[in-house]
Structure 1
Amino acid sequence: MPFDSAGCHPGIQQTKRAAWEWAAAGDLVLSPVARKKMIRTRPELWISLIFPEASQKHLDLFCQWLFWAFLVDDEFDDGPAGRDPRLCEGAITRLVDVLDGLREPEGPMENALAQLLARTCTGRPPHWLRQFRRDTAAWLWTYYAEAVDRAAGHVPGTADFVRHRRDSVAMQPFLDLHEITAGIDLPESVRSLPAYIALRNAVADHSGLCNDICSFEKEALLGYEHNTVRLIQRDRGCTLQEAVDEAGLLLGRIADRVQRAEKELVEEIEAAGIQGQPRIALERCVRDYRGLVRGDFDYHARAERYTRPELTETDAQDSLSRNFAA
């Protein structure tokens, strides 16, 4: 890992308490199995490692977003909605409609989303809102794509899956949230710089592959094939250990892509004559994205969800669907 650690936010325990209190106040029901899984997931650790300089207010808010996202992820990865395309489509459509302000929320998960949006989006510029909406909706719809794949008995090729995983890992919305805590505003022109897009994609790709390497044992138990390690093993006809080794090499190459995109972004800033606040904002992204990649890497090495997977097929049936409106 070529990037230095920026440490962990000192407010991690306060953020943890705030997340659980927020979930209880919003009637987000976690069964005993789901509660144990969330404790082992430690969303407060991830958010504190990737945003070590955030204000406590932002740290608490972003952790609640992550808590909610993990509930969504477990519902569609492990629960019945992830295996029934029509059920999945309905649930995702309702969430995206709430995201777009097209309907009133129903049920704890939709109400939690509406509340998070109100606390996050108030006062944000229209171009940021468009970006956050696109990134969040793109993440949510990946669950439907995977549900259809499962129902059709289709397993994607590795190259296609890389593009899918870029959205499904849900890193892009948190890169948007980074702008809030960093106090920066990226104009549309800056967001369109090829090197900035490449940098964001490399950060998301690193997170997705790191997660796949750490999750493949649990996901194999569940028969979940949307995992890079599993796809490498299938495509190359190699052993599982050889697939893990190859994934590790790929992870290093993605870290190289991050560094290459940083260099190209500096060159593009100069070529475009970008000055003032947009330049400061881009330079802040270059600095903070390095720490974000390292924080995500460190999290996967520390959270019990990945270091000591315990989920069984029986546990997977204990879903969180009661939090979704029927």
Structure 2
Amino acid sequence: MPFLSAGCNPGIEETRKAAWDWAEANDLTLSPVARKKMIRTRPELWISLMFPTASQRHLDLFCQWLFWAFLVDDEFDDGPAGRDPRMCEATIDRLVAVLDGAPPRGAMEHALAGLRARTYPDRSTRWIRQFRRDTVAWLWTYYAEAVERAAGQVPTRAEFVKHRRDSVAMQPFLDLHEITAGIDLPESARSLPAYIALRNAVTDHSGLCNDICSFEKEALLGYEHNAVRLIQRDHGLTLQQAVDEAGAQLAEIAERVRRAERELITEIEAAGIHGPTRAALERCAQDYRGLVRGDFDYHARAERYTRPDLVEVDRRDSLSRFFAA
């Protein structure tokens, strides 16, 4: 890992307590199995490593977004909605509608409406449009996977790279980074090829890192949408060979991050970008290294990934009761 750690936000314990209090206040009372899984997931650790200098208010808000996202992820990965395309479609339609301002019904929708209300004030229309686009793209990846499962299809590694860029859900948190960084990029800056490449590299690194650390857990579930599994299948490798190849690809992605940083500076000069926009882009380039390292360190520390043998799976223990019927 070529990027230095910026450490952990000192507000981590307060954020952990705030996340569980928020879940209880939103009627997201987890079963003993689901609660154990969330404790081992440690969303407060990921947020605190990703945003080591964020204010307590922002840290709490971002952690609650992540807590909610992990609940969604576990429902679609482990529950019936991830295996029934019609149920999956209806659930996502409702969540997107609530994100767009529709009245919520189930507990998960009420929690989403509250997060939306706390996130959108003082953000520009262009930022809200970007955040919505990235969040909706993430949600619809679950539908794509549900349809592929039902059809007995598995993507190639090349196809999966593009899919994983949305399904890992890093893009919305790159948007949230702008809040704590105090910036709001104009469309021209978001359209710079090197900025797009930088975001994609950061996201690709997170997706592959997650797949390497999740492979054993997901193999127990028969989950095929994992880069290590696809590398193994596409190239006829042993498991260890596939893991080694994935590790080599992870190092290559880190180099893509550094290359995109250099190209971004060149494009800033070529476009004649100065003032606050230049400062905002430079802040992104600086902070994104820390995001990559924070995500990497999280996967090495959270029991969700370090001790997959402890995963308890019971599809009857679904989170479906949190979603509107």
TM-score range, shorter chain: over 0.9
Structure 2 Cα separation of the partners of residues 181 and 140 of structure 1 = 24
Contact 2:80/2:315 (<8 A) preserved: no
| TM-score of the superposed pair, with normalisation by structure 2 | 0.99
Structure 2 Cα separation of the partners of residues 248 and 285 of structure 1 = 25
Alignment of 1:82-121 (within 5 A): 82-101=82-101, 103-121=102-120
Letter matched to residue 28 of structure 1: L
The answer to whether 1:252 aligns with 2:251 is yes
Deviation by residue 1:222-266 (Cα, 9 ceiling, x = unmatched): 000000000001101111111000000000000000000000000
Alignment of 1:282-297 (within 5 A): 282-297=281-296
Match in the other structure for 1:50: 50
Q: CA deviation at 1:317?
A: 3.4
Q: CA deviation at 1:107?
A: 0.8
The answer to whether 1:303 aligns with 2:302 is yes
Match in the other structure for 1:275: 274
Identity of aligned residues (%): 79
Structure 2 Cα separation of the partners of residues 118 and 294 of structure 1 = 30
Deviation by residue 1:133-178 (Cα, 9 ceiling, x = unmatched): 0000000000000000000000000000000000000000000000
Letter matched to residue 198 of structure 1: A
Match in the other structure for 1:75: 75
Across the aligned residues of Structure 1 and Structure 2, the Cα RMSD in angstroms comes to 0.7
Structure 1 Cα separation of the partners of residues 317 and 229 of structure 2 = 25
Letter matched to residue 232 of structure 2: Q
Match in the other structure for 1:186: 185
Letter matched to residue 49 of structure 1: L
Alignment of 1:1-326 (within 5 A): 1-101=1-101, 103-309=102-308, 310-313=310-313, 315-326=314-325
Runs of 4+ aligned structure 1 residues displaced above 3 Å come to: none
Q: CA deviation at 1:311?
A: 2.1
| TM-score of the superposed pair, with normalisation by structure 1 | 0.99
Aligned residues: 324
Contact 1:78/1:317 (<8 A) preserved: no
Can you give the 5+ residue segments of structure 1 that lack an aligned partner in the other structure?
none
